[in-house]
Structure 1
Amino acid sequence: MIRVLVADDQQIVRAGLAALLDAQDDIAVVAAVSNGRDAVDEARRLRPDVCLLDIRMPLMDGVEATRRLAGPQVADPLVVVVITTFDSDEHVYAALAAGARGFLLKDAGPDLLAQAVRAAAAGDALIDPSVTVRLLDRFASTAPPTPAAPLTDRELAVLRLVASGRTNAEIATDLHLGASTVKTHLAAIMAKTDTRNRVEVARWAFQAGLLAED
């Protein structure tokens, strides 16, 4: 059973998210809170498999809550997925930089919501490709990164698919690889690019110009 904490300051949204997730056979909402401070306290106490956090909340916003739960300085980080109305929220990148593994739009349907929670719990965060491109557009003017070691052709293929929003299972199917092989390639990519998760991998690929159409 995947244990989830939901944090959103809007009661109707919070209740709706919790109801959608609780309706899944393999997901249980263990806490639903209305602010970032309670989210951090309850997450530390309950150690859920996934924390689904809104960005804009009272007492402590989602960015700071994410940093305290999943930031680089956290010895035993929790899995955080940001949920937001992306078009009007300018703090999404800050949350990702603070350690969030992935993100969803608040208008995501129940199937996508459940898929995202399952993927995050499995270490295989689901990222909406269209949203990813819009978010990563922020990095268009930054200098291209240099990997610590050259990526192999296979690693580049995996990298592009990760950045386009594919899960490990989908990548395995697309490239005719075993699931364990995909994980091995992804681990090598993260080591060479100094990234910690799939969101950072996608950002690195965008900065390197690897998402341009052939």
Structure 2
Amino acid sequence: MKHLCQTAPLLFCLVACQNNSTTPALPGGSAQKAATSAPANTEFIELNTLTVNGNHKELLTVQQLESQLGRPDSISKTTFECGGELGTVNGPDSRLWFYGRTTYEVNENQATMSGFDVTSGKFQGKVGKLNLNKNTTLGDVRRFYPMSAKPDTVLYEGRSAEIMSVPLHDKGIELDASLNLLFRNGRLLEVLFGSPC
């Protein structure tokens, strides 16, 4: 379990890279080139509309993080092929702090949330009018993001799960990042902040 949690950010980075492919997998394991006339996905999430537990995602000091959540359940020294939000994830002071399955990327004295688990009820998010909590279904998300709500199937903690991604923008400028939503049986499990390799 601990090993799977440590590799989850890498898994989602790889899935984010796959989401940009032009050959979606079809039933039976075959692949077919996507139609070039398919409309581009114009859906996105404006970063300032996203909150977690009522707060906007922001850079924290380690002291602020510890005052909000206490010491983590576990700390992992992890290297990433794709880098991280703090810029030097593979540095000597780079760590992932785990609060259950909610993770923070920590480097030196800076920390930022890299994903949160909604199943415990301790963390919940909101994007505009869309709630991101343990009661959120893929159908709920589809009402707001119908083009993005076509998830890819991934293996997560040894079981099949679905992941969908919506690009992030900041004041109208597209970021090299997305909000990745992980579902199992149509119910939201985790929300991850992803960026492609």
Normalising by the residue count of structure 2, what TM-score does the alignment of the two structures yield? 0.26
Question: Relative to total residues, which structure has the larger helix share, 1 or 2?
Answer: 1
Which protein has the bigger strand share?
2
Relative to the length of structure 1, the TM-score reads 0.24
